[in-house]
Amino acid sequence: MASDHDPWRTALVAWDVASLSHGTPAQWQERRDERLAALLEAARAAPRWRDRLQGWRARGGLEGLAPLSKGELMSDFAGWITNPRLSLESLRAFVADPARIGEPFDGRYIVWESSGSSGQSGLFVQDAGAMAVYDALEGLRRPALNPLRRWLDPWYLAERIAFVGAIGGHFASTVSMRRLARLQPGFASRSRGFDFLQPLAALVEQLNAHAPTVLATYPSAALLLAEEARAGRLRLPLAEVWTGGETLSAAVRAEIESAFSCPLADSYGASEFLAMASSCELGVLHLNADWVILEPVDEAGRAVPPGTCGARVWLTNLANHVQPLIRYELGDRVTLHAERCACGSPLPAIDVQGRGDDVLELRTPRAGRVRLLPLALTTVLEERGGVLDFQLVQTGAAALRLDLGTTHAAADRERARAALREWLSAQGLGAVRVTTRRVGTLVAGRSGKCKRVCAATTGAR
């Protein structure tokens, strides 16, 4: 019977992941090439991939194959997927139901939606094979932050885990946690998701009651919670902090580790590939290059040399044969290091520059100072306001301006403004003034990426 979990395959993948973690670069490169050949063969079952690969000949890589954008994928979903039974309409109906978060679609596929941070939302489907890879990479390539603690408890059976993020949609992190709770009933009693859309005081109260030993969240959220810990309001017996989803600077890492008196592990992933890279004990991100290919390119789509930061990056997911993502364009800027990391890992070291949105600090006479997470604000505007092409700019101590692209009509602007104002009121910020503006082009920062949430002191730089 088909399922989203295959214990035998998971065990085989786990053995492979563990062995290559201590192998040589030549070994993971050989395995990568084998998996790329298998992916290209599987992709021919999809009409658009069959057309794109017609007449193209691999020359030891992907050279000459045109990249794929999220817009292309979603505008002709049926053309890019290898199982014709997976219709976009049925999948959209599935992810519209929050009661089904973490459940398999059609009894065998895990589905999650992207947040739309690039200006367009997406749907991504994985089978048991892809999930086995993600499970193994997440479980075996995360650094041992507390070696003795992990030796005594390698499966985190004694840990209480808290995830702070967007828990109301079919997003990858939330779906993954709910799936683990379904597959491992004991995990459900030890883990819990906390909605970062609620007022900070309520979030702190709930976390104190749960008393987690492991906190998993975004760097900006971890930093905000670290401030609450410094103030004595948040009192958690943390042994580890796990971050991902945003760029983590050395200064932010140091502050979080100091405030919570515990080590931090960072990771790099996306809806398109859940576990692209994990940090080593030196804090350096290592690409899981045996399962994913990242190609940093310049604005013209030309490969940049190692040590050079690309304008964008093309991703090839070697694990997903249901929805092949081959040279799929991501908005992040990635640098592949030319030298091996001093930690001794055979896997390539990388740097990632994400968007780096700002935490906003608003002040009102009644609420005083209130800090707002950028991911919370973008979630409200996307999920409740129904807009994706926007930039939220703080223009004063109690004033925000919402810039929307020209694709949005006046009704869209008013709906987004109303959703934002309603959420701000729940945070005690009902007096904050929100204006909207229709703009032809959103302002990009120095990185070339458009910051979606900009503090008063930074603007859109």
Query: Distance (Å, rounded) from C-alpha 193 to C-alpha 55?
Result: 48
CATH number of the domain enclosing 35: 3.40.50.12780
- For residues 254 and 344, state if they share a domain: yes
Mean pLDDT of 147-174: 91
Identify whether residues 299 and 365 lie together within a single domain: no
- Identify whether residues 245 and 160 lie together within a single domain: yes
Whether residue 132 is contained in a domain is answered as yes
The size of the chain, in residues, is: 461
Q: At what angle do helices 25-43 and 7-20 cross, to 10 degrees?
A: 140
Identify whether residues 342 and 393 lie together within a single domain: no
- Is the residue at 461 inside a domain? no
The domain boundary, picked from 353, 375, 407, lies at: 353
**Total domains, the chain:** 2
* Co-location of 268 and 415 in the same domain: no
CATH (domain of 384): 3.30.300.30
Output the pLDDT for position 120: 65
349 has pLDDT over 90: yes
Residue 12 lies in a domain: yes
307 and 389 co-located in one domain: no
Q: What is the model's pLDDT at position 459?
A: 46
Domain boundaries, position 373:
360-454
Same domain as 381, residue 329: no
Task: Note the pLDDT of residue 450.
Answer: 63
Confidence of residue 461 (pLDDT cuts 50, 70, 90): very low
Confidence band of 354 (pLDDT split at 50, 70, 90): low
Domain ends where: 333, 353, 373? 353
Confidence of residue 408 (pLDDT cuts 50, 70, 90): confident
> Could you tell me what percent of the chain has a pLDDT over 70?
94
Q: How confident is the model at residue 446, as a pLDDT?
A: 36
Whose structure tokens read 């030309």?
Answer: 302
Residue 86 contacts by C-beta under 8 Å, 6 or more apart in sequence?
A: 105, 106, 109, 125, 322
| Residue 2 located in a structural domain | no
Which of these three, 353, 370, 400, is where a domain ends?
353
